[in-house]
């Protein structure tokens, strides 16, 4: 499979601060690639370099075989961008925003209006086309930004937290649309804080923290390798007590008001804790998930 984006020892510095620290990755054409990581991990910094919005500091980064650079107009014309901030013109209507954006991709006013209508239908915004952007709700604006990212029929669509702030229905709509795009051959690069979103959409995931890539793989492979098969959530017991008690049956991690025991033998863990000297208030067995992988790799503490 051909790589559409290739990064080698890629770095981003802001002054002396290193936001992206020598990362390597390859995005294969036609796939969905996800960057996960806590706040400040360097996801948006990486995305902005891929989108040719900010220059790389060192290493190499190619998109469609060409070096990514803010002047790389040929790259930009084949790419749709859904940035973390929306950059919509609030005084203009929904349609005007789309038409204006279409110009950049070389569409005439008529072509952009027609394509805009299709996209508003695609994102279930057709009734809003003559409203000013300032009259839209936050979720509608987000859907408009996704529609706008598609106006130039991009070969590569890059989305930085596309569903942040969307209600569950809108999120399902976006997932459906992104899957359709991927099936039609569009390559997707996304960042998200919703692990379910990454698990559903992505073929390949990288987990970043403090500018470095910690792990990479398919969602199911990462879950199996890092978290194991199952998790037992435990309420009402101390981390040290559970750790001592279960020994080598699993790995324990504190999770706010509960503990998670990652294990391949959930039944044995439950039996052991139910017959121990101190009983839990409550337990729940569930399949291990990408959320467990994320928390195991990046820890449970908040980033500054």
Ligand X SMILES: Nc1ncnc2c1ncn2[C@@H]1O[C@H](COP(=O)(O)OP(=O)(O)OP(=O)(O)O)[C@@H](O)[C@H]1O
270: part of which helix (H) or strand (E)?
helix 266-274
Q: What is the DSSP letter of 93?
A: B
Site string for ligand X, 65-84 (x = CB under 6 A): -------------------x
142: part of which helix (H) or strand (E)?
helix 138-149
Distance CA 51, CA 285 (A): 42
The minimum distance between CB 216 and Mg ion, in angstroms, equals 19
Query: How far, CA to CA in Å, does 158 sit from each of 25, 75, 195, 238, 270?
Result: 15, 12, 18, 43, 43
Contact partner, 37, from Mg ion, ligand X, none, Cβ < 5-8 Å per class:
ligand X
Distance CA 43, CA 192 (A): 9
Q: Are 58 and 50 in contact (CB under 8 A)?
A: no
The minimum distance between CB 139 and ligand X, in angstroms, equals 18
Q: Is 41 in the site for ligand X (CB under 6 A)?
A: yes
Q: In what order do the strands lie in the sheet with 212-217?
A: 79-82, 156-160, 187-191, 32-36, 204-209, 212-217
Contact partner, 14, from Mg ion, ligand X, none, Cβ < 5-8 Å per class:
ligand X
Distance CA 117, CA 130 (A): 11
Q: Is 14 in the site for ligand X (CB under 6 A)?
A: yes
Query: How far, CA to CA in Å, does 272 sit from each of 40, 216, 231?
Result: 40, 34, 15
Contact partner, 41, from ligand X, Mg ion, none, Cβ < 5-8 Å per class:
ligand X
Query: How far, CA to CA in Å, does 222 sit from each of 36, 216, 227, 288, 292?
Result: 12, 7, 7, 10, 10
**Judged by CB, which is closer to ligand X: 43, or 148?**
43
**Judged by CB, which is closer to ligand X: 45, or 187?**
45
Piece in contact with ligand X (CB under 6 A), picked from 40-48, 73-81, 114-122, 147-155: 40-48
Piece in contact with ligand X (CB under 6 A), picked from 12-20, 166-174, 243-251, 282-290: 12-20
Q: What residues numbered 43-82 form the site for Mg ion, per CB under 5 A?
A: 43-44
Q: Is 45 in the site for ligand X (CB under 6 A)?
A: yes
**Judged by CB, which is closer to ligand X: 40, or 217?**
40
The minimum distance between CB 47 and ligand X, in angstroms, equals 7
Q: Which residue has the tokens 């049956």?
A: 249
Piece in contact with ligand X (CB under 6 A), picked from 43-51, 61-69, 167-175, 219-227: 43-51
The minimum distance between CB 213 and ligand X, in angstroms, equals 12
- Give the residues lining the site for Mg ion (CB under 5 A): 43-44, 84
Binding site for ligand X (CB under 6 A): 14, 17, 19, 37, 39-45, 84
């Amino acid at each position: 499979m051909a790589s559409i984006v290739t990064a080698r020892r890629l770095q981003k510095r802001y002054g002396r601060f290193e936001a992206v620290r020598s990362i390597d990755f390859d995005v294969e054409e036609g796939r969905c690639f996800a960057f996960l990581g806590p706040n400040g991990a360097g996801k948006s910094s990486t995305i902005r370099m891929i989108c040719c919005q900010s220059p790389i500091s060192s290493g190499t980064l190619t998109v469609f075989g060409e070096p990514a650079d803010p002047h790389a107009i040929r790259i930009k014309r084949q790419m749709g961008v859904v940035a973390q901030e929306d950059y919509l013109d609030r005084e203009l209507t929904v349609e005007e925003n789309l038409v204006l954006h279409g110009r950049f991709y070389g569409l005439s006013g008529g072509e952009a209006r027609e394509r805009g209508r299709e996209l508003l239908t695609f994102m279930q915004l057709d009734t809003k086309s003559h409203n000013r952007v300032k009259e839209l709700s936050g979720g509608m604006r987000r859907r408009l930004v996704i529609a706008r990212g598609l106006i130039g029929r991009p070969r590569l669509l890059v989305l930085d937290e596309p569903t942040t702030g969307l209600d569950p229905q809108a999120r399902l709509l976006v997932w459906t649309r992104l899957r359709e795009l991927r099936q039609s051959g569009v390559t997707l690069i996304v960042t998200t804080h919703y692990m379910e979103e990454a698990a559903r959409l992505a073929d390949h995931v990288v987990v970043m923290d403090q500018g470095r890539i910690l792990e990479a793989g398919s969602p199911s492979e990462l879950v199996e390798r890092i978290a194991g098969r199952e998790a037992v959530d435990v309420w009402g017991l101390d981390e040290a007590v559970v750790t001592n008690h279960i020994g080598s049956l699993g790995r324990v991690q504190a999770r706010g008001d509960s503990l998670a025991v990652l294990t391949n033998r959930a039944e044995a863990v439950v039996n052991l804790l139910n017959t121990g000297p101190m009983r839990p208030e409550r337990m729940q067995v569930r399949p291990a998930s990408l959320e467990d992988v994320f928390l195991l790799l990046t820890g449970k503490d908040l980033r500054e």
